[in-house]
Copies of this chain bind each other. A is one copy, B any other.
């Protein structure tokens, strides 16, 4: 019997990306797509490139029906997601939440970084952070998945083996990240009006980005230590793609460092080791995280660089990887195929 799925916030970039992937799933029945902006319109009317797919004629609904689906993907703003996830869970349904509503155990971060008080602190404890490479087993039994942010995904995958093995000097984690502009969402902003973002690049939120408490929360869970991260994100004038360049001091030599990473990730289906720093172009559309591990022997710093598609492994295809784990489909199913097909050269 088909798994019934609903997408709340289906007209944003992550919502549409979910539709691209769900199009492949034979086990899934799409019962609702929700978008207040486009209520009553067919998918193909708003997004004509869907005209040739099976979802072509589905119409956007205004409000989610909390009885019709088994699993709800939330691709809506953080604050309403807090409330909606609670309601869906109360109906004994499952939630994969692509917002930050349930990502941070440290609930004090919400007022400071997101501007609202979190109403369901007990639910925060039950939510599972949906990074399969770290929390695979918990994800399988979760009812509420907090699907990771894009910067945290790229950065945590670059740090995890080193944190787990405790080889990082505290206070030396310096992260510089680059993101394509789709990461800022579908909403219009002057800075991202095409003529202005064209041929441009800049750092932003250089000392206080919303993804910092999310990263540190995980770092501290993994390492058992209170480690702070120095993080500067930058805008890349492309649509999709993200790089995280992670530096940290370590006593390991180069060979052992690389070996540590290879060992930890040896069975991971979506992590690809590269011999040169990864290129964003060759992860776009995929669920891959390409990784490069090196040691700067002159300074004693490890340099680990990851590349993901911010809307793929950084959002929607990772959500589907979590979906596969929750519903008991083989983890790679559809996503391996999707990843191989989507990467185009040049």
Contacts and interface: CB of A to CB of B under 8 A. Distances in A.
A28 interface: no
Contacts of A186: 190, 193, 195, 346
Contacts of A343: 20, 49
Nearest to A298: B228
A182 interface: yes
Contacts of A182: 195, 346
Contact of A277 (B199, B204, B245, B280): B204
Contacts of A337: 24, 341
A200 B281 CA distance: 5
Contacts of A120: none
Nearest to A341: B341
Contacts of A238: 198-201, 237
B202 A181 contact: no
Max chain B CB contacts within 10 Å: which of A189, A275, A343? A343
Contacts of A232: 176, 245, 247, 303, 305
A346 B13 contact: yes
A241 B234 CA distance: 14
A193 B188 contact: yes
A17 B299 contact: no
A234 B198 contact: no
